[in-house]
Each structure stands twice: as structure tokens, then as C-alpha cells.
Amino acid sequence: MSPQSSVLSPQEIDLKIELCGIPLAHPVLNGSGTFDAIAAKRAFGDQLAERFPFAAFVSKTITPEPRAGNPPPRLWETPSGMINSIGLPNKGLEGFLSADLPELAALPVPLIVSVMGKAHEEFSRLLAGVAGEDGVDAIELNVSCPNVESGLIVGEEPAETLALLRALRPLTTKPLIVKLTPNVADPARVAVAAQEGGADAVSLINTLKATAVDPGTLEPWLGAGRGGLSGPAVRPVALEQVRAVAAAVSIPVIGMGGIADGAGALDFIAAGAAAIAVGTENFRDPAAAHRVREELASALANSGFASLSAVRGRANPDQKGLQTMDGASV
């Protein structure tokens, strides 16, 4: 389909999508761990629910047991980016279920819970704990954290990813989203393995392995020595990985990596993403995703395309057959 000759107004643009069977008002999600919805609720009260910036909320990744996270410093700013070495601090499964889930389930949008285990048994335990909860709409399997030694192997190896999905898929009918690492030569091979194992969607990118040097001591700046790079600095890398993954799978792809405005979001849709997520930009402006959504509608209207599906995959000539927003082929 070609751009329409008459320019539409942003109000005429319908941004609704269906992701893994979940209807969403628009395609803008958050990257896991980049927005503390519980703290935001305390700070902004009812205003947050009235103007919630995301169409679905992805929780900070949880592990079976509580974790303190990495020693400080945990952050380093780079030109157009940020390195984090947070180290997955969280309350553990029990703490999440009792303290956080009731608050997150009360948000005005669907909830995607992000989980990470060191082995199949830990992932199974997490899934058993969260998947049965009414307030949980989908589960994101984080196989890509750069800041936990044991977190990366599953997501680096297609065979390991397939084996994990084969173990987890029978445990729930809720959508399983696999969060892919960018720190491999060919993320599309891992995405194909995730799809073969029954994943309902993939999301990418997590952060790129990175480090920073303390200018005073010339020793590592970050307490844990290294971390993961995010922000606009990674956007072209993320865009290419999203394009390559979308060309290789038929399940929906949630694209992220340095998206800070509507034009950037539209690029990811054109590369084949079904939905996009805002991450690092949330730290600068907690309402950024709201602006990204408005700008996305304007960018789409200005481009002369009437819908997201008209744009989706246009910058991805390798994509095997464009997909509808819920992943079916057209």
C-alpha cells in the first residue's frame, strides 16, 4: 500500500493493536525495569491512572529469591546513552506476589510480569507462582540480563532457548514473551528457537554489554565492573536487530532500544515491530511514553499512512509476509 495523497489528522489515526490476543489502546509499552509504577502511583496518585503512559505495563524482572543487586555505582552516562549495572534487585517471588502484584494488577492496563531464573527449575517456579494470578496477562521470560552472570547463557544459545521454552510452554496458556539479548552474533536464530518452543512473542533489545572507566582512578567505574548500554546510542543497532528478527519469525516482535520520540517509534514499526517500548527515556521524563504515542500518531498522519499495519514491515524487505498486529499472516 502506498501513502495516501491527502494528509490525515493525528485524531484520525487508530493506534489500537492486539498483542498475543490482548487488546491494547496503542502500541507503546515500557521496557522492563525502566518505570517504577508503584513509586509513580505514590507520587502522582489518581493522575497516574488517568494518564497512564503505557498500553501495557511490564514489571521489573523478578527472581525466585530476593536479591540486593550490584554494589554502587550502578549508572554511568554516555553520549546519548546510559550504562546500567543494577544487578536485578527485587523482592523475590513471594515478596512480589504479596507486596507488588496487588498494586500492579490495579493499574489501568494489562500487566506483563518479567521473570528470570538460573535454571529451568527456577523459571518453572516463577511461572507456577505468577501465571495463575488473575492480574497477570502475560509473562516475559528475561533470558538476556547483562548484569547477572548466569542470566545470559539461555538467551545466547538457540538450543538452550528452545529447551527452556519446551519446559515452560506446558505450564501455562498465558502468553510467553521472550526478551532477547543483543549480545550475540545472530539474535534471529535465538528468536526462531523461541518461536519453535512455543513463545507467543519476542521482545528486543535488552542492553548491550558495556563498561566505563573512572576518570580519577582509571579503574572500573561501575561497582560490578561492567553493565549494559541503552538509550539513543543503541537505536540503530536495535533497529537492525528488530528488522532481522521480524524477518525470521511469524510471532509478534516488541521492538525497543533508544526510542525517545514518535519518529523513532515509527521506524521500529516499519522495521517490522508489532509494538514498541520506551525505556531509558522514561528516566528523563516519566511521561515520555505519552508524548511518544502522540508523536507516533502525528508521524503516521504526516507520512500519509492511515494505520500502523500499512507501515509495518515497509523497511523490512526480507520479512516473509507481513503480519497483522496479533501475529497472523496477511
Number of residues that bind ligand RRO (CB under 6 A): 14
- Identify the residue among 30, 61, 241, 316 touching ligand RRO (CB under 6 A): 61
Give me the catalytic one of 29, 126, 138, 145: 145
Touching ligand RRO, residues 305-324 (CB under 6 A): none
Opening angle at CA 205, ends 220 and 290, nearest 5: 105
Helices (H), the chain: 37-44, 46-50, 92-95, 101-105, 120-130, 153-156, 158-168, 187-196, 235-248, 262-270, 281-284, 288-303, 308-311
CB of 165 closer than 8 Å to CB of 197:
yes
Does 20 qualify as catalytic in the annotation? no
Touching ligand RRO, residues 243-302 (CB under 6 A): none
- Using rule CB under 6 A, residue 88 touches ligand RRO: yes
Q: Nearest distance from residue 208's CB to ligand RRO, in Å? A: 9
CB closer to ligand RRO, 91 vs 290? 91
What the block records as the C-alpha cell of 262 is: 514518535
Longest dimension (CA), the chain: 60
CB of 59 closer than 8 Å to CB of 187:
no
State the DSSP code for 131.
Answer: T
- Using rule CB under 6 A, residue 86 touches ligand RRO: yes
Touching ligand RRO, residues 187-216 (CB under 6 A): 206-207
- Using rule CB under 6 A, residue 30 touches ligand RRO: no
Helices (H), 150-186: 153-156, 158-168
CB closer to ligand RRO, 33 vs 187? 33
CB closer to ligand RRO, 30 vs 84? 84
Straight-line distance from the first to the last Cα atom of the chain, in angstroms, rounded to the nearest whole number: 13
Task: Give the H or E element holding residue 57.
Answer: strand 57-58
Segment interacting with ligand RRO (CB under 6 A) among 42-50, 144-152, 280-288, 293-301: 144-152
CB of 261 closer than 8 Å to CB of 297:
no
Q: Helices 120-130 and 158-168 meet at what angle, rounded to 10?
A: 40
CB closer to ligand RRO, 145 vs 249? 145
Question: Residue 255, exposed/middle/buried by CB under 10 A (0-12, 13-18, 19+)?
Answer: buried
- Using rule CB under 6 A, residue 64 touches ligand RRO: no
Segment interacting with ligand RRO (CB under 6 A) among 18-26, 80-88, 124-132, 267-275: 80-88
- Identify the residue among 27, 117, 129, 146 touching ligand RRO (CB under 6 A): 146
CB closer to ligand RRO, 10 vs 92? 92
CB closer to ligand RRO, 88 vs 112? 88
Segment interacting with ligand RRO (CB under 6 A) among 5-13, 83-91, 131-139, 187-195: 83-91
Catalytic machinery residues: 145
List interacting residues with ligand RRO (CB under 6 A).
Answer: 33, 61, 84, 86-88, 142, 144-147, 206-207, 228
